[in-house]
Structure 1
C-alpha cells in the first residue's frame, strides 16, 4: 500500500464514452458483441460478466441503462483503467462494442509498513524499530483469466511468509471458483492484555519470538458474477506463545495454555452493488457470514461467530453524496480466550478512537458521511511515460463530513477498560484523494465523545 502511495506522488510531478446510432424501433435484438483492448484478458472472462448475449431482445428504452450497468460490471473487475462502449442499430439489429484499457498486472510491491494497528498507533510510539519490510509479489489476471497469485516475504518487526492463489472458475458449468492460502507469522512482540483500552506489549529479550502462527485455508466460491458471491471456507490454524505470555496473562489462550490448534468452517455471502468498488458514491453493499471454530486436543472452547454489514450510498446531486451503513458481530461460546476477544479498534473502529482498542464478544457499528466532490480529473497525461498503462492518471478529491457510533459488549475482560459497554461516538472532517490503481488516501480530523482530538491518516475507503 505504501508503494502505491509513493507511485501516486511520483507520477503526479476514465471515464465512459458512449457513441450511439439511435434505435428507431421499440425492441432490438443483439446481433453481436465485440471486445477490443483486451490483449491479456481472455474474451470469456469479460463475456461472463455481461447480462446479455447474442440473440437477446432488449427494450430500446432500457438499452442505455443496460449498457451502462454492464460497463460498470466490467470496470469493477479491477482489470482495466477504463471501459467504453459503442453500439449501432440497423433494422432492429444491435451491434455492441466494448473497448478497454488494461492495467499492468505483474508488479512487485516493496513492503515498508508500520508494525502497529494503524499509523496513529505507531506515531504515538515513534519507534523506528517497529517497521516491517520485505516484498509482496502480485500477479493479477494470471493467464488472462482473472486469477491472482500472491507471494509475500516480510521481515523486520513482524515476520510473515504467505502464498495465495485465487481462481474465479474451476467448474464453469456451476460458476464455482476457489482460493487457497498458506501463511506463517512470527512477531518480536505480542499484545498480551488491554488496560484503559490501550494495548500492553511484551517484547522478548535476545530476539525471542513470543508468538508464532501458521495457517492453511481453502474456499469453494459460487461466483454468480463480480457483484454476487457466496461460499464455504475451511481453515486450519496452529498458534504458539511463549511461557512469558502465559505468566503475564493465563487467559490469553485460556487455562495457561501455550499452544492451540483449531479448525474453522465459515459460510459467507457478498452482494456488492456499488458503482465503484474502490470509492463508491452510489449503490449498496451487503455481506454476511457465520463461522464455527473447533479446537483440537481440547486446546480451547468451541465458539460461533456471526457477522453482517450493510451500507447504502446515495447520490444527492452531481456533486453531493450521502453514505450510511452498519455492521455487527455476535460471538457465542461457553468460555472466551483473550486472543479471540476482538471487536473495535482493529479493522473496524469508530473514527476518533484510532488510538484505542475496545475488545469484546459482540459489537455494533454505525457510520454515516456527507461527501462533496471538489475535483474530478479523468486523466492527467504524463508525457515522459510512453506506456498507456501508467501515463494517464485519474484524480478525484472529496471533502467528507462524518459521524460514527459504536457499542461493544464485553462480559469477560471488561475490567479496567472503561470504553467497553458504553456508547462510543466520534465525528469530524476529512479530505479523500482517489487516484491511480484504486489508491484511496484519507486525511481526517476527528473528535470523540471523551474530547480526544487528532488528525489521522489512512489508505483505504472508510466503510
Structure 2
C-alpha cells in the first residue's frame, strides 16, 4: 500500500506550478513577499553597518516586542553575503510569535558601508470572543464511533481570547463552559516581565464540575456515567515561570495546586478511582521543569527544522499531599525539506512514570492530545510508560492565497490554502498497569507493538488552521477513516 502511494507521489513531481509557493505562509498563515535585497551580495562580499531599523504596520504591537526577535540591532556589523539568510531567519521568528499575518524585512542601502532595515508587518486580529460548541470527547473519531455521535455530548459557552494585550504579546484567556462539563478558567500570560525580555510569568485559575464522567476504562475505551448529581469537582491554581535564554531555547518551571472531589457514586463504581483512606478526595501540589529547544521553521505546520523537549514532573511536594508520583517525558521531532515540494517528518515520544500502583485518576495514557498511533484514535491505552514514533512523507500538491476584498475586517482578507498529499507509518508500545493485569482488563493492546499506516490529505489555512483527513490500517486488523484538527505533531 505504502509503495503504491509513494509511486503516486513520484508522478506528481513532474507537475510544476507556474509559481513556487514553497515559502508561502500556509505553514503559519503568512504570505512572504519576494525579497528585494540590494546589499551587495556579490562574490567578494563586504562588511555593512546596520544604521537604523524602521518598523511599520504595528498599530498595536510595541517596537520592543518586535526588536526582541531580530538578530541584528542598530550599530551591528554584518557581512553582506550573510545578510539574506539572517533576515530570512528573523522573518520566521516574527511569524512564530503568532502576532502577524504577513512579515517582510527589506534593506535600504545608504552607501557601500551602511544599510537601514525596514520591517513591514501586517498584524493579526487579536480578539476572539469564540462561542463554545465542541465535543466533550478526546477527538472527533471517538465521539463518532464510540459514543454514537450523540450531540448531547457537547460543551457550550464562551471562550474569550485576547492576544497581544497592551501590545506586549501578553495573552488573556477566559472560559465559561456549560453542557457536558461545566468549566471556568482564567489564564494570563506575561511573556516578559523584565527589560531584557528573558523572564516571563503565567497565572492560571480553574474550576471544573462534571455530571458526566469517565469513571473507568473497558477494552481501552472510556465508560461514562451521567447523572443529575455532580460527580467530580476540580479546583486548581497554577504559576509558571519561563526563562527564554535565546531565540530558540526556553526553560520553564510550573507549580500547580489541585483539589479533586468525587461523589460516592463514582467510588462505588470504581473503588480505585481515588485510592487511599478518603477515597473521595485528592489534594496535592506538583512541580514541573521543562526545557524546549524549538528550531522549527513555522510552528503551526513545520516543514523544516527540529524540536527537542524534555520534562520532569514531581507530583506531591508536600507532606500532606495525597499523590506521590514522578514523571519524565522526552520528545524529539525532525522535519526535512527533500526539495521539489517533498517533505519528510519524524516524531518520537517517550513517557515514564513511577510508581505503577496509582489511583485511576492519575493514570498516564497513550491516546491523549496528539500522542496516539494513527488508526487507534478511538482508544485510550493506559500504562506507566510508553513509546511512540510517527513518520510522515508528504508532497505539496496545491498552494494559493486568495484575497477576499469584501471582508470588512482587514486581518481576514487574505486566505492562504495549501494541500498536502501524504502517507504515514506509526509505531507504539505501552506497558500495562499491574491492576489491569491482575484483573485481566485492558490487556488487548498493551505489552505489544502497535502499528498504524495509511494515507491522507492535510489542508492548511489561516490562523494556524490544519484539517487532516486520513485513512488508516492497524496491526490489529482494523481500518477506517479518521478526521483530526491541528497538525499531527
Q: Name the TM-score, length of structure 1 as normaliser.
A: 0.94
1:227-306 aligned within 5 A? 227-255=248-276, 257-294=279-316, 300-306=322-328
Unaligned runs of 5+ in 1: 1-13
Q: Specify every segment of 5 or more residues in structure 2 that has no aligned partner in the other structure, as ranges.
A: 1-30
| Structure 1 position 297, deviation (Å) | 7.1
- Counterpart for residue 207 of structure 2: 184
Within 2, Cα distance between the matches of 1:226 and 1:142? Answer: 21
The CA deviation at 1:300 is 3.0
Compute the displacement of 1:138 (Å): 0.6
Secondary structure at 1:244 match in 2: helix
Partner of 1:16: 33
Once the two structures are superposed, residues 441-462 of structure 1 have per-residue CA deviations (whole angstroms, 9 ceiling, x without a partner) of: 1111111111111111111110
Residue deviations 1:196-249, cap 9 Å, x none?
212122222xx1121111110001110235532111100000001111111121
Alpha-carbon shift at residue 174 of structure 1 (Å): 6.6
Please name the residue that 2:236 is paired with: 215
In the TM superposition, residue 54 of structure 1 has moved relative to its aligned partner by 1.3
SS of aligned partner of 1:74: helix
* Distance verdict in 2 for CA 1:386–1:445, change over 3 Å: same
Equivalent residue of 2:410, what SS?
coil
Which residue of structure 1 lines up, in the alignment, with residue 475 of structure 2? 449
Distance 1:368 1:159 in 2: 37
TM-fit CA distance, 1:250: 1.4
The Cα shift of 1:383 comes to 2.0
Residue number among 426, 447, 464 corresponding to 1:438 in the alignment: 464
- Greater displacement, 25-34 / 417-426: 25-34
Following TM superposition, the consecutive aligned residue runs of length 4 or more in structure 1 with deviations greater than 4 angstroms are 295-299
Deviations along 1:284-340, whole A, 9 cap, x unmatched? 111111010117675634111111100000000131000012011110127311111
Give the SS at the match of 2:48: strand
Residue in structure 1 matched with residue 226 of structure 2 by the alignment? 203
Aligned partners of 2:211 and 2:231 also within 8 Å: yes
How far, CA to CA, are the matches of 1:310 and 1:203 in structure 2? 39
Q: Deviations over 1:42-100 (max 9, x none)?
A: 00000011111111111122111111000100111110001011113312112111101
Please give the residue correspondences for 1:1-40 in structure 2 after superposition, counting only pairs within 5 Å.
14-23=31-40, 25-40=45-60
**Partners of 2:39 and 2:80 within 8 A in 1:** no
> Which of 68, 93, 108 is matched with 2:88 structurally?
68
**1:308, 1:329 within 8 Å by CA — same for their partners in 2?**
yes
Task: Identify the residue that residue 114 of structure 1 maps to in structure 2.
Answer: 135
Show the 5 A alignment for 1:152-171. 152-171=175-194
Using the size of structure 2 for normalisation, the TM-score is 0.89
Find the counterpart in structure 2 of residue 384 from structure 1.
406
Is 1:100 the counterpart of 2:121 in the alignment?
yes
1:47 matches 2:48: no
Moved more, 73-82 or 84-93: 84-93
For 2:415, the equivalent position in structure 1 comes to 393
1:387 is displaced (CA, Å) by 3.2
Q: Figure out how many residues of one structure are paired with residues of the other and give that number.
A: 447
